[in-house]
Amino acid sequence: MSLTLPQSIVLTEYDKDYPVEVPWLDLWHVYVVANDKGGAGKTSTVANLALMILKKLRRGDPSKGIPGDPDARVLVIDLNAQGNLTVHEFGASEEQNDHGKGLYDSLHAGTALKPVTVRPGLDLVPGGGEWLKDDVATLYRRLRDKYDANADLRLLQCLLPIAGDYDFILIDTPPENPPLQRLAMGAGRWIITPAKTDNGSLDGVKEMSEQFKKVRKVNPLLTLLGVVLFATGRKSTQIHQKAEKRLREILKGRYFKFRTNIGHSEAVAQESRDVDGEPLVALFDRAEGGDTSLPETVRSVHEDYRKLTDEVIARSAEIKKAIEES
């Protein structure tokens, strides 16, 4: 590999004598889902990818001779002050849900994240508290003053002690919060960007790509894996083409759009907007179980996520191979 990777990083007072060594080549399994705009589909994408990947790993693929791994584990990190993923999608219990306090404390001290198990094989670092807004911003400024660009690697430092316990790690990021977006990107290898076709969502891709360029200086293997069009009409070909043109202008040589779009479904939207509604992941569990009482659009969106999961896995494996061979 011709890329020069940082040998070690200094991120706390205690590290000065013993800087953290980052095992860069063992971190191909960390995915960040980011778009600076809210409502772009980040949280839905994280929740569904996490569960689909877990099921896929546990089941294996007998048709391709890939054995299932019943011990496969997936970790999700919720960096949102809203905590939708933590509460609504993954139903963390009162006991489990510290509303991101543990996450904040780890970031503050530079110590290991402490996930909780929300389903067999699925662990979560909960989000949801106010400290994921102002307090993190203050902490981030302090870290930058002290450690300069390496501040972006703070979440990575907290993830490193547990990263090897998981087969797949997904980080959900908040909109309009550059400090947390950069901490997420500093810890990740791949960025998946959901975007709606409206200008606001596409502007969010631009903002995201600005953060990406900055973080890549300290995380040289960070890669834009692809954009996925979210909640879009199945026949809106012209609108898709227009959005793709804009995305090409924004991302230039780094542009890639997944073949799969996540289709629009009013039924899915309604369930996820409704506080008492069923979490998407529960809805899709039913779809998988063959529940024919579900609206057709729900089953189609479930199928979209399944295809997207396959694309994400295949494309990251392909790029990883190319980088390793270069």
Ligand X SMILES: Nc1ncnc2c1ncn2[C@@H]1O[C@H](COP(=O)(O)OP(=O)(O)O)[C@@H](O)[C@H]1O
Chain position carrying tokens 């600076």: 36
Residues 40-99 that bind Mg ion (CB under 5 A): 42-43
CB under 8 Å to 85, separation ≥6 — which residues? 43, 46, 47, 76, 78, 124, 127, 172
Which one of 156-164, 183-191, 236-244, 260-268 is the stretch in contact with ligand X (CB under 6 A)? 260-268
Bridge partners, 170 (sequence order):
31, 76
Least CB distance to Mg ion at residue 280 (A): 12
- The angle formed by the CA atoms of residues 150, 322 and 229, to the nearest 5 degrees, is 75
| DSSP sequence for 292-323 | TTS-HHHHHHHHHHHHHHHHHHHHHHHHHHHH
CB under 8 Å to 119, separation ≥6 — which residues? 51, 54, 90
DSSP 150: G
The answer to whether residue 37 forms part of the interface with Mg ion (CB under 5 A) is no
Among 42, 56, 189, 302, binds ligand X (CB under 6 A): 42
The answer to whether residue 302 forms part of the interface with Mg ion (CB under 5 A) is no
Which one of 147-155, 241-249, 253-261, 269-277 is the stretch in contact with ligand X (CB under 6 A)? 269-277
Residue 53 contacts residue 61 (beta carbons within 8 Å): no
Residues 46-65 that bind ligand X (CB under 6 A): none
The answer to whether residue 77 forms part of the interface with ligand X (CB under 6 A) is no
The answer to whether residue 41 forms part of the interface with ligand X (CB under 6 A) is yes
Candidates 166, 180, 244, 242; CA nearest to 208 is: 180
The answer to whether residue 201 forms part of the interface with ligand X (CB under 6 A) is no
The answer to whether residue 197 forms part of the interface with Mg ion (CB under 5 A) is no
Least CB distance to ligand X at residue 228 (A): 11
The answer to whether residue 269 forms part of the interface with ligand X (CB under 6 A) is yes
Among 10, 24, 28, 39, binds ligand X (CB under 6 A): 39
Residues that bind ligand X (CB under 6 A): 38-44, 231, 262, 264-265, 268-269, 272-273, 301
Residues that bind Mg ion (CB under 5 A): 42-43
